[in-house]
Structures are given as C-alpha cells and as structure tokens.
C-alpha cells in the first residue's frame, strides 16, 4: 500500500481525513484456504470443494478470518511497518459481503475517516480507517473499520 506522496516514516500528523491509499494485489490459493480452515475454521464450505457445493456458498470459499489475516498482512507491508504504529485497540466492525474464492486476486483500499489526539497520552493518537477489500472484478468482498494508534511526530508539540 502506497502512502501517497509523503516519504519516510508516517506519524499521526501525516494522516489526513479523506486521504485514500491503494495496495498491491495478493492472491489467495486453494491449498492455503483449506489448510487455514483445517487449523482455525473447520467448516465444510472452507475445507472441501464437494462438501462446499452442497452449502449456501455453492463452492469452496475462504474463511472470513483468513481474509482478515490477509488484510492485516497487506496493511503491515503497506504502511503499518513504515509508520509510528502502536497497534490497535480492536476492530469497530467487519462485514463479509461476498465469498472469497480460490485464486482471487485481492487488493485493499483504505480511507481515513477520522483522526484525533489521545486525551491521556500526548505522544499518540488514533487514525480511524475504512478498509475495503476488493477482488479482481473490483467487487468489495469485505469492509473493515478500525482505529490504529499512531505516534506523534513531536511529542507534546
């Protein structure tokens, strides 16, 4: 994910409401869909094509948690590891809108919804994002909203 025109490490001060970021693509493979499900989400529609055809998914679909994990990888590579990230207190909302299928080429769009300084800690603040995961057809398969904690460029400035 490119963080626009700003270079170097990103701080709270560098994020602006309304800003959008795009990411590169990340392909989800059949074998990993199944092995992820075997470890974390062993439901028939995530494990086996034949069993999945008999369900409401009509075919193999990735666990929604697998999509969340790929989302995390995309933002880590994209900007979290190039920012003054201090983690996240949680997730405001996740919507799984469409099945993610074997071979889907996923990509992320991030929009800054809100930004605020912490009341109790002058060295940090919160950037609230809307993240949309898109498949190769451009359909939004998942929406996730979350506030990320970010350090400030100048403490107490």
For a second copy, which is the closer residue by CB, 13 or 123? 123
For a second copy, which is the closer residue by CB, 23 or 63? 63
Shortest Cβ 73–a second copy spacing (Å): 5
**Angle ∠(42,44,50) on CA atoms, nearest 5:** 140
Cα dihedral 137, 139, 144, 148, rounded to 10, equals: 50
State how far the Cα of 12 lies from the Cα of 115, in Å rounded to an integer.
Answer: 8
What mask of x and - would describe binding to a second copy in positions 49 to 78, judged by CB under 8 A? Answer: -------xx-----xxx--xxx-xx--xx-
Cα 112 to chain centroid, rounded: 13
Is 45 among the residues that bind a second copy (CB under 8 A)? Answer: yes
Interface with a second copy (CB under 8 A), residue from 25, 27, 53, 95: 95
Return the residues of window 119-138 that contact a second copy according to CB under 8 A. Answer: none
For a second copy, which is the closer residue by CB, 16 or 72? 72
# residues near a second copy by CB under 8 A: 32
**Dihedral sign computed on CA atoms, order 13, 16, 17, 22:** negative
| Residue 40, number of CB atoms within 10 A of its CB | 12
Q: Are 68 and 26 in contact (CB under 8 A)?
A: no
Interface with a second copy (CB under 8 A), residue from 8, 18, 90, 138: 90
Q: Which residues bind a second copy (CB under 8 A)?
A: 39-43, 45, 56-57, 63-65, 68-70, 72-73, 76-77, 80-81, 85-96
């Amino acid at each position: 994910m490119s963080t626009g025109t700003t270079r170097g490490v990103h701080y709270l001060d560098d994020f602006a409401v309304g800003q959008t970021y795009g990411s590169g693509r990340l392909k989800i493979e059949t074998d990993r869909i199944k092995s992820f499900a075997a470890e974390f989400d062993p439901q028939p529609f995530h494990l086996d094509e034949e069993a999945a055809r008999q369900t409401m998914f009509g075919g193999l679909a990735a666990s929604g948690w697998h999509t969340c994990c790929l989302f995390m990888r995309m933002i880590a590579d994209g900007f979290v590891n190039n920012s003054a990230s201090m983690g996240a207190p949680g997730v405001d909302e996740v919507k799984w809108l469409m099945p993610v299928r074997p071979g889907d080429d996923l990509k992320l769009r991030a929009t800054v919804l809100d930004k605020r300084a912490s009341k109790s800690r002058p060295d940090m603040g919160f950037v609230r994002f809307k993240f949309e995961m898109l498949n190769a057809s451009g359909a939004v398969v998942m929406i996730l909203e979350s506030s990320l904690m970010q350090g400030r460029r100048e403490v107490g400035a």
